[in-house]
Structure formats: structure tokens, C-alpha cells
Amino acid sequence: MQDSGELAQRVEREIAASKATSPTHPGQSDSRHKTDPALVEAINQVFALFRLNYHNQYYAAFSDAEQLRQIKKLWLDSLKAVPPAQILQGAKLAIENSEYLPTLNRMHKCCEESLPALGLPAARAAYLEACNAGSPPELKHWSHPAVYWAGRDSGWQRLAAAPETQSWPVFNRHYQSRCATLLMGGEIPPIPDPPKNRLTSKALEGDAALQQIQRLKADNDL
């Protein structure tokens, strides 16, 4: 297997060049369903990259043109909620880390694992961060607003008290959705200010504690 640094550079060059090598559009024969052209192009680029990097395996797996067309349609449908940039980054990650042609399931995992390369926390790290949000969560120093909003969407109480088997799938779904919004050019609101009543309560508690200390000090001076 090639050195990972050299391979990463090669993949980046191939992503830029693969438009010229991928004329086949998955699903183009069914004109009743409109598909995002950028998503179609991303799937074509991914398969072009696989062809270049897994040459013998690729032709052994996709020896029939009709079979390849059907597989592209399957990938297109399965990855339709994933932004094209994340799909391409996922393909790069798959190529860098395995000598074997990835399955669709592995491709989904690579797409999720590609978030740090796109400037977003990894899903598991984001989940652990949200589970330890504290109260109020607005006071926490968040690594990214997407983590806060995914936590809020999931429910802070669920993240704090529910078993991981219940809370993780919910959080991951909301987090991937928030990340997709950003990667598709959308915006995420800034983290809101903490509730004023909580801040006032904290301030009053601090004042009361200070007064208590001053009283104790005065008693000791007597």
C-alpha cells in the first residue's frame, strides 16, 4: 500500500480530475425522480476514485456495466442525506485506510469519520461533550455550535440520564443533520445566552456566600 501522505495527495488530485473520467450518471434513466446533480457527480467521482485506486478489485467487483449502474443507484439512494463534500472526504478516508474496496456500510462510517477533516468534531466526541453539558448548557464552552444544537435537539435530560443505547442514536441523527446543514451551505444559529434567571440566581448565591464569610470573619475578630 502507498504511503498515506502520498496517497492523500493523489486522491485530492483525482477528485479534481475525476469529472472527466465519470460520464455515467447513476439513475439517469428514471426521469420521474429529480436527484441533486451535485450528489450524482459525487457518487460518480467516488467510483472513479475507486476504479483508479482499487483497479483489479474494482473490475472484478463491477465487471458488468448494468450491475455497476444498479450499484451506483443503490449508493445514490443510501447516501442521499450526506452532503457531496462529506461523501468525497469519506471516499478519501476509505482509500487512505484500507487496501480493499469499501462496502456501502463502510462508506457510511467513513463519511461520519470524515467530519474532523471538514472542520467539525467527530460524532462520538460531540456526543460525549453533549452528555457532559452541565446546567445550564449555554454556559459550557462548546467546541462547535453544531454540538450544542444537536444536544438540545436530542434533549439534555435524555443525554444525561438515558442509556447510551437509547441516547447515542438520537444524538447522532441530530448531529449528522446539523453538520449536513452546514456542509450544504446553510447556517446554524449561535449558541444562545444563558437564562437570565439562572445568572441572577448564581449572582445572589455568590453575594450570600460573601456576606456569610464577612459575618464569620467579624465574629472571629471579636
pLDDT in tens, 41-54: 999 999 999 999 99
C-alpha cell, 176: 449528522
Question: How far is it, in rounded angstroms, from Cα 55 to Cα 2?
Answer: 14
C-alpha cell, 69: 449502474
pLDDT confidence of 102, banded at 50, 70, 90? Answer: very high
Give the global pTM. 0.69
136 cis-preceded (ω within 30 degrees of 0): yes
**141-173 per-position pLDDT tens digit:** 999 999 999 999 999 999 999 999 999 999 999
Res 183: pLDDT: 93
Question: How far is it, in rounded angstroms, from Cα 52 to Cα 157?
Answer: 48
Question: How confident is the prediction for the chain on average, in pLDDT?
Answer: 82
What end-to-end distance do the CA atoms of the chain give, in Å?
80
Residue 210 or residue 65, greater confidence: 65
**117-130 per-position pLDDT tens digit:** 999 999 999 999 99
